[in-house]
Chain A
Amino acid sequence: MSLGIVMLVHDALDRAEQLVRHWAKNGCPVVIHVDDCVSDDDYTDFVTALSDLDNVRFCKRQHCEWGRWSLVEASQTASELMLKAFPDVRHILLASGSCLPLRPISEMLDYLSNRPQTDFIESVTTEDVPWTIGGLDIERFTLRFPFSWKRHRRLFDRYVEIQRRLGTKRTIPAGLVPHLGSQWWCLTRKTLSEILNDPNRAGYDRYFKRVWIPDESYYQTLARRHSTRIESRSLTLSKFDFQGKPHIFYDDHLQLLRRSDCFVARKAWRNADKLYDSFLSDQNDVITGAEPNPGKIDRIFTKAIERRTKGRPGLYMPSRFPKDGYEGNVTAARYTVLEGFSELFDGFDTWLTDTVSARVHGHLFARDRVHFAGDTPDYFGALGDAASLRDYNAKAFLTNLIWNTRGERQCFQYGPRDNQDVSWVIAKDPNARVYVVSGAWAVQLFHSNQNFSDIRREAARLQKIESDHLNALRSGYARARTHVWSLADFVLKPAEPLQAVVDDIGPRTATRLSNFPKMRPLHGFGQFLQDLKNQGMHPYLMGDFPAGHDLVPDSQVQHKPFLVK
C-alpha cells in the first residue's frame, strides 16, 4: 500500500462510486469528502453502496464553494483522516469525483515507488503565471477577498477596486513565498503531514482564508516550505479554458487520452460511457512505462482558447461579429486594389492575369454588376454578380469574397465610378494593398465624345469622389498600405510602379518585366485639362500636364512598346 486517494465529490455520485471502487479494488485506500449540497438520502445511498469496501472512509462534510477556503478545508479534513487511518500510505493524491485514471493503477504505483521522496505539485511564483481571470496575480495574496466571485461579482469587483485605490496591502506571513499551480497534487506523507502539523498552521490558515482561490495556492505555497524534492507538475491532466473552468473530456477524446500517457485526467463528462468503460475496465492493463506526454491535448485546448478569444480574422458569422476596430484584420487575407490602371491601359486585366499568379477581377464594385475574373456570373461561396445584392452590404461582399478565396491572392480594379461604400473599409484594412493612379478616370472622359458640359460635370463629380477616397486612404485611421501616383508622374515613369505592383502580388516568373500593357493615347490630354480649367473646373488630381505639349516617358524606357508618341 503506497498511494491514498483523497477524493472531493459534489455531484455525479454514480460515477464517483465507480471511480472509488476502481481505486479501492486496486489497493488504494480512499477518503471521500462529499459536499454538503448533496442530499442526505443520496449521501446515505452512496455510503451504503460503498460499504463492502474496507479501505474507504468518509470524512466530515461541509459545503465547498469554488474559489473559496472551504475547498482547502475539506481537503485538509480528508487528508488528516487519510494520514491517521492508513499509516501505510506513502503518497496521497488529491482527486475529484470526475478524475479518471488513464493508466493501470499498478503502473502508477510503480512510478511513485520509484520516486518515494518526490512531491508532484505544480508550484510556480506569481510572476511566472500568465493568469487572466480578473487580472489578479500577486494581488490574490495581498488583497482581501471576503466576497464570493460567483455569487457576488459586483461586490467582489468593487471591494478589489476600493483596496487598490486605498493601497491597502496584507502582509504575507513570514517565511512564505506565494506560489500558484494546479489544485490537483500528489504529495508524500512526509510533506503533507508537515504541512498539516506545522506549528504556525493556525496563522497560515487564517491568512489563506482571505486569499482568492486558495486551493490553487495553499498547498503550492506550503509545499515549498516543507518539501525536499518538488517536481513542479501535476500528475492530473487538467486543462482550463479562458474562464478558468476545466475542459471536459468526451468519448471522442478516448484515443487522445490513451496516447497522452498521463496518469489521471480531469474531468470526464459524467455520461461519457466509453471513457469510463474503457479506462476503468480490468482489461485496461497495457503497461507502457512511458512518461506523461500531454502535448497533443495541450495543443487542442490551446487552440480552443485562441479560437474563443481571437477567432478567425476576417470571418463574420453567427457567433463572431466583432465591433469596429476589434476584428483583428477586417479581411482574412491580403489583397490588391488597383485604381486607375485599367482606365489608363488597354487590356490591363489580361496583361496582369498573364503576369502575376493571382486572381485578377475587373471592377468588382461597378455600378452595373460585379465584374468577376473571367466574367462569370457567380463566384466562390456562391457570390452572385447582381449589383443589388452586393450593394445591400458592400462590406460583407468584400469580406465574404476574401474569406471564400483564402489561399489565393485576389486583385481587383476600383475607382470613383464604383460603389464607394467600401472606401473606408479598404482604407482601414491592414490586408489591403492599394495602388492608385490618381486622376486616371479622366482618360476615359478625354476619349469620350459627350458634350463638354457633361464631361465637365462628370469630371467634377469623379474628382470629388476620388479626393474623398484618397483622404480616407491618407487619414489617421487608415491601415492599408497605399501607393498613390498622380497621372502625370505615372505617365512619365510607368515601369517602376508596374514593377512594384507585380512584385508585391507575386510574379509568375522571377525575371524583370519585359512586356508592358499598352497605354491609351494621351495626345492632347494637357489641352483637355486646360479646357476643363477654362470652364471653371480645377482638375488637380492628375498632377502637372502642360497644356502646350505632351508628356513623354523617361528616355530609359523610350524603346518600350507603351511609349506615347
Chain B
Amino acid sequence: MSVWTSYRLRLKRKQCHLRALRKRRELTEVANRTDAVGSDDILAFSTIRNECIRLPYFLSYYRDLGVNHFFMVDNGSDDGGREYLAEQPDVSLWTTNASYKNANFGVHWLGWLQRKYAHGHWALVVDPDEFLVYPFCDTRPLRALTDWLDTSQVRSFGTMLLDMYPKGPMDALPYAAGQDPFEIANWFDSGNYTITKNPKYGNLWIQGGPRARAFFRDNPIKAPALNKIPLVKWNRHYAYVSSTHALLPRGLNLVYDQWGGEKASGCLLHAKFLDTFGAKSVEELERGQHYANSYEYRAYHSGTKEDTDLWCNWSEKYLNWRQLEMLGLMSKGNWA
C-alpha cells in the first residue's frame, strides 16, 4: 500500500468519524442504561424500524449467546417497538426520525454510539433479522469465541449473510412474536456464491444465494453483498465504511486467509423472508431509504407479487452449524 493510499484511507476514516459526530445530534435518548455496562461486557448494536414483532426473539437469542448489553437506535417506529425496547433492562435506546439513508444506512448513528461506548469491548453489529451462528455455538457461549479471538490476537470475526427462506410462498405461514423464525424459513442455498476481492478496502465481496438467482438474474452485479464483519474488538479509531461489509483500518477486513488455509468464520442467518416481507417491501419502496435507491426492494417487489417461492429442488434444509461447516459456508479454522 502506497503512502498516498494509506493517507487517503486515513482521511476516509476520519470522515466517517466526523459524520458520526455530526449525526449524533439526530439521536434522542430514550433509555440510557450504559452505567450497567461492565468493563469486559459484550455489546450489541442495532438499528430498527417497525420490527416490533422480531424483537422478543432477537433479544432472547443474543442474551442466550451471552450479549450483555444492547445499544438500539429506533428509526421512527410506530408499531410499539420503541416502547417495548425502552422497558428492557439490558437495552439502551435512542430514537430518531431523521433519514436512514443520509446516516449512511444507520452506520453513522451506530458509529457514534460505538465510538462513545464500545471502546475496548467486543461489539456485535447486527440487524434485528440477522442471527449469528459461529463454530460450536450450540455448546460454547459467545464469550468463549471472543476469549479465543483475544488470545489469538484476532480483532475481527467474519461471517456470511445466509438468506433463509421458507418452502412455498413467503406469506403461507404467519410469524408470531417470540417465535424462532427458522422454524418457518429453514431453507438456504448451499453452493452458488461468488466471491471477489475489493482492492480498495481488502474485504471480500460475496454475492449469490436465493436473492441473486430469483431477483438479480439479469443484473447480477447489483445483487446484494453478503459479506459481513459483525463482531469486532472495538477501538474508537475504527469505523464501518459501508454497513458491516467493510471496516477501516483495512487490516480488520482480513477475516479470510490468502495462503490456502481457513480462518474461523461464521454465518449470519438472515430471517428476512417471512410473511412480514411483503408489507415491508411495500413500505420501504415508498420511503426509498435503502441501498442503491431501494433497488433490492424494487427487484423483490416486481418478482414477489405475494407468492414468490424462493425454494428450489436443490435448497438445503437447515440443521445446525456443523452442516454449514461441512458445506463450506463457514469454518472452524483452528478453533477446536
Q: Which residues of A contact B (CB under 8 A)?
A: 241-243, 245, 247-248, 250-252, 269-271, 300-301, 303-305, 307-313, 315-323, 326-328, 376, 378-384, 386, 388-389, 392-393, 396-397, 400, 403-404
Contact = CB atoms under 8 A, between A and B. Distances in A.
Contact of A382 (B160, B213, B330): B213
A243 B195 contact: no
Interface string B299-336: 00000000000001111100000000000111111111
B152 A243 contact: yes
Contacts of A242: 334
Interface of B: 136, 139-141, 143-144, 147-148, 151-152, 158-160, 189-197, 204, 206-207, 210, 212-213, 217-221, 227, 255-265, 312-316, 328-336
A296 to B, nearest CB: 12
Contacts of B136: 250, 252
A396 B193 CA distance: 8
A318 B265 contact: yes
B158 to A, nearest CB: 5
Contact of B151 (A248, A300, A388): A248
Contacts of B329: 317-318
A397 B191 CA distance: 9
A382 B192 contact: yes
Given A320-B261, A386-B213, A389-B220, A378 B194 contact: no
Contacts of A396: 193-195
Contacts of B141: 271
B265 A392 contact: no
A320 B263 contact: yes
A102 B121 CA distance: 34
A202 B251 CA distance: 45
Contacts of B196: 393
A-B pairs with the 7 shortest C-beta distances?
Answer: A381-B191, A308-B334, A319-B265, A304-B336, A393-B194, A392-B220, A404-B191
A328 B220 CA distance: 29
A317 B328 contact: yes
Contacts of A397: 194
Contacts of A312: 262, 328
Contacts of A403: 191, 328
A320 B325 CA distance: 12
Given A271-B141, A388-B218, A318 B330 contact: yes
Nearest to B160: A318
A18 to B, nearest CB: 18
A312 B207 CA distance: 21
Contact of B144 (A250, A300, A309, A317): A250
A322 B264 contact: no
17 contacts: A241-B152, A251-B139, A271-B141, A307-B333, A311-B262, A317-B265, A317-B330, A318-B158, A318-B160, A318-B329, A378-B314, A379-B314, A382-B192, A382-B210, A382-B314, A384-B217, A388-B220
Given A251-B139, A252-B139, A312-B328, A382 B190 contact: yes
Contact of B204 (A251, A318, A382): A318
Q: Is the interface of B mostly helix, strand, loop or mixed?
A: loop
Residue among B196, B197, B261 having the largest count of chain A Cβ atoms under 10 Å? B261
Nearest to A242: B334
A300 B259 CA distance: 22
A271 B332 contact: no
B143 A307 contact: no
Nearest to A389: B220
Contact of B258 (A271, A322, A376): A322
Given A300-B336, A326-B258, A381-B191, A245 B330 contact: no
B311 to A, nearest CB: 9
Residue among A313, A321, A393 having the largest count of chain B Cβ atoms under 10 Å? A321
Contacts of A313: 260
Contacts of B160: 317-318
Given A317-B195, A318-B256, A393-B194, 11 more contacts: A248-B148, A311-B331, A316-B195, A318-B158, A318-B160, A318-B195, A318-B330, A320-B256, A382-B191, A383-B191, A389-B212
Nearest to B157: A319
Contact of B217 (A245, A307, A389): A389
B217 A386 contact: yes
Contacts of B189: 381-382
Contacts of B210: 382
Residue among A300, A303, A304, A376 having the largest count of chain B Cβ atoms under 10 Å? A304
A241 B219 CA distance: 44
Contacts of B194: 392-393, 396-397, 400
B193 A271 contact: no
A177 to B, nearest CB: 33
Given A250-B144, A300-B336, A311 B192 contact: no
A301 B195 CA distance: 29
Contacts of A384: 192, 213, 217
Given A252-B139, A271-B141, A319 B335 contact: no
A248 B191 CA distance: 32
Nearest to A305: B334
Contacts of A320: 256-257, 260-263, 331
A67 to B, nearest CB: 14
A381 B315 CA distance: 7
Contacts of A307: 261-262, 331-334
A392 B222 CA distance: 11
B217 A308 contact: no
A270 B151 CA distance: 13
Contact of A304 (B140, B218, B332): B332
Given A252-B139, A308-B263, A383 B192 contact: yes
Nearest to A246: B151
A403 B327 CA distance: 9
Given A315-B328, A317-B328, A382-B315, A269 B144 contact: yes
Contacts of B328: 312, 315, 317, 403
Contacts of B333: 304, 307-308, 319
Contacts of B262: 307-308, 311-312, 315, 317, 319-320
A389 B140 CA distance: 38
A308 B333 CA distance: 5
A380 B143 contact: no
Contacts of B221: 392
B205 to A, nearest CB: 10
A524 B101 CA distance: 68
Contacts of B148: 248
B191 A400 contact: yes
